[in-house]
Amino acid sequence: MPEYTVTSLMLLTLLLFSTLTQDSTPTILYRMVQGGSEVGRETYRRSAMRLDRTLEIPLLNMRLTTQVEFDAQGRMVRFAGEIYNTRGDTLRNRFEGVVLGDSVVATVGRTEPRRLVIRGRAEGFIPNQTVSTVAEAAARARGRDTTFRFAVLGVDTTVPVRVSHRNDSTTVTMAGVTAYLVGRDPTIRVPGSALVVSVWNGVDSLLPLAGLRRPVVSYNPPVGASYTAEHVRITIRPATGDTFSLAATLSLPIQGSRPFPAVVMMSGSGQQDRDENLWPVVADYRPFREYAERLAREGIAVLRYDDRTAGESGGALGGTTEDYTDDVRQLVAWLRSRPDIDASRIGLVGHSEGGVMGPLLAVTDLRFKALVILAGPSKAGRAVVRDQFVWPLRDLPADERAREMADVERRLDEWMAANAWTKWFATYDPASTARQLRLPVLIQHGALDRQVSVGQADSLAAIIRSGGNRDVTVKIYPRLNHLFLPTDGDGSPSEYGALRQVTLPLEVLDDTARWLALKLKAPG
């Protein structure tokens, strides 16, 4: 929590360093590599009064061109851009913005542009998906520790971009995300991902950019499976915005008697498909598919779904955990309407952010019979992310660690202000909901979880019990990380791309399946 995809990493990190100066004019080519394959390229050309970029990411079927204009004093006065499909023959969107005093007035849209106002004096502009923005900030810093304010479409205030230098390293921080460049190495390795961005040396051959193509995923049962699968679309009517549908797969046991008990699987943060696949960071990780197979052997049906905008689902980005919880509430209503499902025997299984959503559902609907929380937090999101910021500092020299620790709260403030999701998640306290839980709860956690610290498992259990619920079970698994995968390292997200085993240990699946079978069994 958060989980990582190539899209979110490129959008959230925006990390690259260049020795480019403001008055240089050569074109720089950045190469983006993930999972061992080149996924994108960006060209960047900066003169005294103009900046031009072209970004191509075949994985997203996107070609982005942007221009930024400056006045004679080097202040940004205007930006504009267009987004095409990868071939460049279909215009998907366009935008432009003008700096007016201490704000930016922008328009976004291909046919009927929307007007946006970004408050605060903007010194630069961050286009969606770009990796060269920080090169611009680093160039302006000229070796100084300094902070700039950049405009971002979709955010109502300018965001700080900080550049600092210490010994032989340069640090670039934006919206709570930090990158480190040590020495003269032009390559940035983004923590928590397999994404590497480097400057083309002008010598190596450039093959045609094919990008990293996502394998075609089938949600059909494998040969010999203990279940059948029905692929469906379920209508969602959100509190605000247009109606959309979520794509889902309902797995029904081959053995057992109808109507079946059932569970709904809820994924972690980020837009996940119905298998909770983390391609390309962990290419073959498909835990929810494994749960569907294992639970079918216990006679339990499983509904798993593509999150909003993920896979084959519709909807729009910009929601909060509360909004996504309401999506599940409507999925459950659909599930209860089916004659092959026992509406009185439905449970919830949530991983990471899904472990926040499950309790929210259970305290507002007392018909649920069981709740499984996989690596869910016991404390507010700000505290969870603080742990994530502090953990990597543990091995720094004492004086350097003290300096970095002094900066943690500021970084948290920036992260909280990033969007509606972070604002909600940062301040929501799971404890207030946990005390109200009255159904059986199973809490499972990896001992080496560095995204939601393992101590929160016992804390969450104690909170639930303090409300009078004694049917709480805790299972802690040695050597497992936040993904419930074994690791020989310390469990950090930076290891995910190198994990050798990408299937869940049988112990984890068996513990969940047997516990659910007991709690969802038919009366009598």
Mean residue pLDDT of the chain comes to 87
State the architecture of 227-379+429-519 in CATH terms.
3-Layer(aba) Sandwich (3.40)
Of 144-153, 212-221, 260-269, 436-445, minimum mean pLDDT range:
212-221
pLDDT in tens, 400-459: 788 888 888 988 888 888 788 999 999 999 999 999 999 999 999 999 999 999 999 999
End-to-end CA distance of the chain: 40
Q: How many CB atoms lie within 10 A of CB 257?
A: 9
Residue whose tokens read 């900030």: 137
What pLDDT digit, counting tens, does each position of 285-306 carry? 999 999 999 999 999 999 999 9
Contact assessment for residue 440 and residue 517, using Cβ atoms and an 8 Å cutoff? no
- pLDDT for res 204: 80
Q: Of 42-56, 151-165, 262-276, 462-476, which range is least confident?
A: 151-165
pLDDT above 70: residue 67? yes
Bigger pLDDT: 404 or 505? 505
CATH 3.40.50.1820 segments of the chain: 227-379+429-519
Q: How confident is the model at residue 155 (pLDDT cuts 50, 70, 90)?
A: confident
Band the pLDDT of 344: cuts 50, 70, 90.
very high
**Dihedral angle computed from the Cα positions of residues 213, 3, 164 and 157, in that order, rounded to the nearest 10 degrees:** 100
Q: Which element (helix H / strand E) includes 507?
A: helix 506-519
Query: Around Cβ 311, how many Cβ atoms within 10 Å?
Result: 18
Query: For residue 487, is pLDDT > 80?
Result: yes
Q: Is 446 left (phi over 0), alpha (psi -120 to 50) or beta?
A: beta
Provide the pLDDT for residue 395. Answer: 74
Does residue 207 register a pLDDT over 90? no
pLDDT tens by residue, 94-130: 999 999 999 999 998 888 888 889 999 999 998 877 7
> Is the per-residue pLDDT at 9 higher than 80?
no
Q: What is the mean pLDDT of residues 353-374?
A: 98
What was the pLDDT predicted at 34?
72
Helix (H, G, I), strand (E, B) or coil at 367: coil
For residues 189 and 490, which has the higher predicted lDDT (pLDDT)?
490
Measured distance CA(380)–CA(462) in Å, rounded: 16
Residue 24's pLDDT is 46
pLDDT value of position 20: 33
What Cα–Cα distance (Å) separates residue 77 from each residue in 73, 107, 110, 128? 11, 15, 22, 19
